[in-house]
Amino acid sequence: MLTVWCAIASAVAEHHKNTGTAATDPSPLPVMGAIPTKEHQEINQRLERIEAALARVGPAAGDDVSPGRSPRPDAIKIAPSPPNGGRRARGAQFAGEVVADDGPVHGSPAGARFHVRTKEDTPPAGKAEVASDAATPSDKQNANADAAHHPKFALPDGAVADVDSPVSKPVVAPPATTSTAKADRQKFIADMKATDDWRSVQKCPGVKCSWLSCMTVALSFAAGEKVTMESVLRANEMALHYVSMPSVTTAEVYDALAEFVRADRTLRDKLAVDHANFDSEILDEDEQIGDDQGSGDRPPIQSLIQFRKTIAQELSDDSFSMHIFNFDPYLVQEAEAKAQEDEEALAQMEEEEENADLAASMESKAKQQAAKQWQPKNMGAFAILTGYNAALHTVTLAIPHLAPDGTYTLETHQCPLQTLYNACCVKDGYTKRTRGVVRVFRVKDGCAPATVKPKYPISLIDGRQSRGMLSIALDISIAPHILGLGLLHEVVRNTVIAADAKAEGGTGAACGGIDLRGIPVTDVCRTLGLPVGTITATSNRESLPTAAVWYRRYLDAAGLSKHVDVGCVSVTRRDDSDDGAVNIDEDDFFAFLADAVASKTTAVLLSININVAKNVRVVPDGQSPSHFAILLGYDKERKLVQLADVSVKKYRKVWHTSPDLLYRAVIGHGFITASDKGNELAAKFDGLTTAASYMKLARYGVSSAAATLSPGMKAAAPVAFEHPTRNYSMTVLAKGLNTVLGAPKVRVEDLIYNSGFHLSFMLSEHLPILATQRAANYFCYYTLENTVHVETTNFDAHAIADAEKAFLAAVKAAVTGGGDGSAVLVNYNGAALNRFPDLWNGHFGGNLAQVIGFDESAEMLLLEDSNPEPFYRRWACPVKAMLEMMAEKDSIAERPRGFMVCKKGPNPLMEASRLVDMRRAQSHHPFKNPVSSIASAIALALSEVIPGSAVASEEIVYAGESFNLTTLTSQVTPVGAQTMVDNWLAQNPNYKKKVKAVINNDTFADEHKFLAAIAQQPDRVSLILYEATAIFPSGNEKGLAAGVVTRAVEGRPVVVCDGSPTRHGDMWARPAADVHKATKAVLQFTAVSN
């Protein structure tokens, strides 16, 4: 066996010689895993070259790799010298020690020292050096044996490593080789701008998606050609609001990358994508699904050793791998800060500070803590791995940011590998699952792994085909069996039910005046009348028959039960024992899978134990592992089952498992079949066929809030307001409306089901204030018949003094002297409560609360929030603190918060108005800021002028041959807006003859002509492009914004339905003179009659 030689001590000595510093200078290398200082960069580079040379030497035939002797060089670690004047840190090896994972390398005693010799000092090739006096005969014999097996190797800089130890070994030098992929990666990264100062990074306005930048950088490197963010967005038909989202989940990144590669014919056989989480426990080591099967699944990374070896291998091979990590950035930030503090402490050790200076230093550190980029509770971050120092066990991460000029700037971070591993093990606050890593890499020609052919197109199961609610937008808090019902019906209505039957069926009136499109989770819940507590409950074994009964009820209500057969199969063991016989044989189950995938008119919803199916303990002990997925594909030869998950943010759209694992996962659970009438496959396992089964399974029936289980049963009306078991903005809003109405007439469910928005968007603790107002006003208009309305005041910087006065006046009117029947709701930064420990009881209740009391002399407010625990629901807050918290910016709306007032009477913005409704344009997330308010306003105008249509802003943007995010966010001109419309009409020739869109340049002579030009007409819609800062002076939105005019009447304010409702409000009113002055162009849409 070849003993490994290193050159650490001599490298340090030569560094001192070249730099002219004394060998006794206190400038040691840092402890293993610490971040090197600039003084050590040269030494670190040499160590990396030594490590690279060592890595190219492997054990030869005949080497002893038995227990107790470590094979080389896999187990090598090079430990640098300790700091602090040579004192040894805990767990660190002294300088020059060569250590293996389990101890010192055989043949090199702990504490051995090394030096570098030049080629001139090296003995002739093939001759072993004479061992030192301390060498034993066996050592000499090992040295000669190693000389016979291994050639001498030359270090890249011309030096040869040797050991000054009891044993000296022969070394022979082969020609050096360099990984092409590694060299290309280094050059690729070096060609981009980089900085380690996050404050200096210039970012394109509105483009916060560094995770998307990571994807494009990774694809560009692996593909060897430029890939843009725009091309990834278009290939995925991705909702454009994602551009403004700073973070997503690892599963979403994998899905987007896989879809892009799959959609590109030139890349699908060249690139591959895989994904791994940092789960720590595999249930069955013999049943792992590897990426060589084309699944995209990798076994979880369970240990730091596994992580280190995987990274080292994939960065040094020729796969052109680029890793995208999802991690907790706070841990990385703290590691960098600690390294900087240690460096500064060393520099200040010889200086004595005065008390005043010490106080100033502490104050400075406190300010630095407040100004940090990330806080302990954060949404996570994404970064690409650009470097790994095997000698120091440190990694370099880079977060790419799109600059205003369209280039990328890398925000770099350096930390120990251990820190990155720990940061990836931190569970995502949304999915409650460990974070992970996605890798993009090249596959050899003709070696691309075959994939399982899905039964349905991915665009069907993720909602894109129905042009509405997408699976990626489904809220993860909704119970899996309810999500499963929505996804099952989406499949059924597109594959099982004929077109004429779909037109015949329906569930009744529109939701809040709007027909909701896409995956029908909201329609299912609304039809069944499910309360919020049931919707957000967990799934368990009882959820399978519950879902089956509920789906029958839903089909009855929709008039579709005569077209669809529903079957339910419970897979159980005899007497529910752990080792009892299963009621369905394994072979019968596999045959059913094959038949179900082959049947075009059968859809299967599986109820499974997710831990068993994934072969990983995803759900911890004590929680229900019940989960649901649609059967998508089955490859009998390769033993792979393909499933479409109901929770795509957590588990990806599509994942794979083995038939054996799936069989074990359904035991104790089961599956539901939905097929056309008379389908034998469904009848084979059907256990719930008769009407009498409903009463036998009454415990699985719908809640009392819904209709009946049989004719004649009537549900009692609710008599008191019920708080849901979680915090929701809608809870406080419902309480506020009930205050105005004088009775508990509005439930949380009423707001959720009748505001005209999908259920998933309403289940939020942190809705921006203008988003909450939108939901309230549409509910009030359509359900309460415009007898109540809500007005909002933001604490914008240019009018904050007026806002504070208006707030105090509204509070006094609402709660003093019996009140005037109004209700004041405050939207504040809940996280800021940490700054006021004297007034917070430690139990969070959301970011919205109702003011129910006011002590003017003490300047104190009494608040009631949405906390489900009554004891913590009410709390007191000083007026000054509340004003401060309301003035803080909402990160979603990118505008300060404020307060709402619920009032009696009709909404003044809807009087004498066209009632243009932003909900009529398709939005994949109505409560997020759009990437372009102009594109959103164009989609609304087209939806208004074309009866029955629902155009999405994504359709407007993607209609052109190309688009540019930097232009789209803030630089769209009137001509560019006209071009957007022309591109969409060209792509939709059926509408080209029905709609005419032109820029009206003759409307700006004076205010009266302007009003006449934009006045509402039955067959015409006017869209104005206005200077954003002219209407909203405190906003940070640059360039032009857009909205559709809903009222333009002499003597009254102009009312505009805005293209960015979460930032500006669904509707706003300004004097005609102000609107006329701010408007730069008018784009008019006219319906052309046949």
What confidence tens digit (pLDDT) does each residue in 236-251 have?
989 888 888 888 999 9
Chain centre distance of CA 460: 22
Give the CA count within 13 Å in the CB-facing half-sphere of 538.
8
Structure tokens belonging to residue 321: 């791998």
Closest CA to 700 of 863, 810, 578, 543: 543
Closest CA to 422 of 404, 403, 435: 435
Amino acid at 254: Y
From residue 161, give the alpha-carbon distance in Å to each of 170, 305, 419, 638: 10, 26, 31, 49
- Strand 193-195 and strand 408-416: pairing? parallel
Closest CA to 1022 of 1068, 1083, 977, 953: 1083
Q: Three-state SS for 375?
A: coil
Closest CA to 953 of 228, 237, 203: 237
Q: Is 678 exposed, middle or buried (0-12, 13-18, 19+ CB in 10 A)?
A: exposed
The pLDDT value given to residue 245: 86
**pLDDT tens-digit series, residues 700-716:** 665 544 444 444 445 45
Structure tokens belonging to residue 202: 């210039």
Give the CA count within 13 Å in the CB-facing half-sphere of 153.
22
The pLDDT value given to residue 50: 61
CATH class name, domain 918-1087: alpha beta
Cβ atoms of 894 and 1021 within 8 Å: the answer is no
Q: Three-state SS for 1014?
A: helix
Cβ atoms of 399 and 329 within 8 Å: the answer is no
Total number of residues shown for the chain: 1090
Contacts of 953 (CB under 8 A, 6+ apart): 240, 921, 923, 930, 932, 935, 936, 938, 939
CA pair distance 982, 998, nearest whole angstrom: 10
The dihedrals phi and psi of 1042, each to the nearest 5 degrees, come to -145, 155
Structure tokens belonging to residue 354: 């005065």
Q: Which CATH superfamily is domain 184-342+375-442 in?
A: Phytochelatin synthase, N-terminal domain (3.90.70.30)
Architecture of domain 729-906: Alpha-Beta Complex (3.90)
The dihedrals phi and psi of 732, each to the nearest 5 degrees, come to -65, -40
CA pair distance 397, 416, nearest whole angstrom: 11
- 769-782 vs 729-741: helix axis angle to the nearest 10? 50
The pLDDT value given to residue 364: 56
CA pair distance 494, 1000, nearest whole angstrom: 43
- Tracing tokens 């009477």 back to the chain, one arrives at 905
Architecture of domain 458-697: Alpha-Beta Complex (3.90)
- Tracing tokens 């990666």 back to the chain, one arrives at 185
What b/e readout covers 708-741, taking b as 16+ CB neighbours within 10 angstroms? eeeeeeeeeeeeeebbbebbbbbbbbbbbbbbbb
DSSP for 836-879, written as a single string: -TTS--S----SEEEEEEEETTTTEEEEE---SSHHHHEEEEEH
The pLDDT value given to residue 18: 54
The pLDDT value given to residue 594: 94
Any idea what the Cα angle at residue 441 is, between residues 438 and 445, rounded to 5°? 145
Greatest Cα pair distance, the chain, in angstroms, is 109
Chain centre distance of CA 580: 42
Residues of the chain with CATH 3.90.70.30: 184-342+375-442, 729-906, 918-1087
CA pair distance 608, 601, nearest whole angstrom: 22
Closest CA to 901 of 801, 777, 766, 797: 777
Amino acid at 116: V
Structure tokens belonging to residue 718: 């609710």
Chain centre distance of CA 846: 21
Neighbours of 21 (CB within 10 A): 12
Structure tokens belonging to residue 892: 């979603």
Cβ atoms of 153 and 174 within 8 Å: the answer is yes
Closest CA to 157 of 191, 200, 119: 119
CA pair distance 540, 228, nearest whole angstrom: 43
944: left (phi over 0), alpha (psi -120 to 50) or beta: alpha
What b/e readout covers 640-666, taking b as 16+ CB neighbours within 10 angstroms? bbbbbbbbbbbbbbbbbbbbebbbbbb
- Strand 564-570 and strand 670-676: pairing? antiparallel
Amino acid at 204: C
| Dihedral sign (CA 410, 413, 418, 420) | negative
Structure tokens belonging to residue 595: 């038949």
- Tracing tokens 């767990």 back to the chain, one arrives at 91
CA pair distance 929, 890, nearest whole angstrom: 12
**DSSP label of 340:** H
- Tracing tokens 């007497």 back to the chain, one arrives at 575
Structure tokens belonging to residue 1072: 């005609």
Expressed in angstroms, the distance from the first to the final Cα of the chain is 89
Structure tokens belonging to residue 646: 């109901």
Chain centre distance of CA 886: 27
Structure tokens belonging to residue 893: 């709306």
Contacts of 833 (CB under 8 A, 6+ apart): 839, 840, 844, 885
- What are the mean pLDDT values of the chain's consecutive 10-residue runs (1090 residues total)? 41 50 43 48 63 51 39 37 37 34 36 36 38 39 39 35 36 50 91 91 88 95 93 91 89 94 89 91 77 74 92 91 95 92 76 52 54 84 94 94 90 95 93 93 78 90 87 92 95 84 56 80 92 92 90 90 88 83 90 92 94 92 93 92 94 93 94 85 53 50 47 53 87 94 91 91 90 94 93 93 95 84 92 74 80 93 90 89 92 92 93 80 86 92 87 90 83 89 90 83 77 87 93 83 92 93 93 93 85
Closest CA to 669 of 628, 618, 700: 628
The pLDDT value given to residue 280: 84
pTM: 0.80
| Dihedral sign (CA 219, 225, 229, 235) | negative
Neighbours of 674 (CB within 10 A): 26
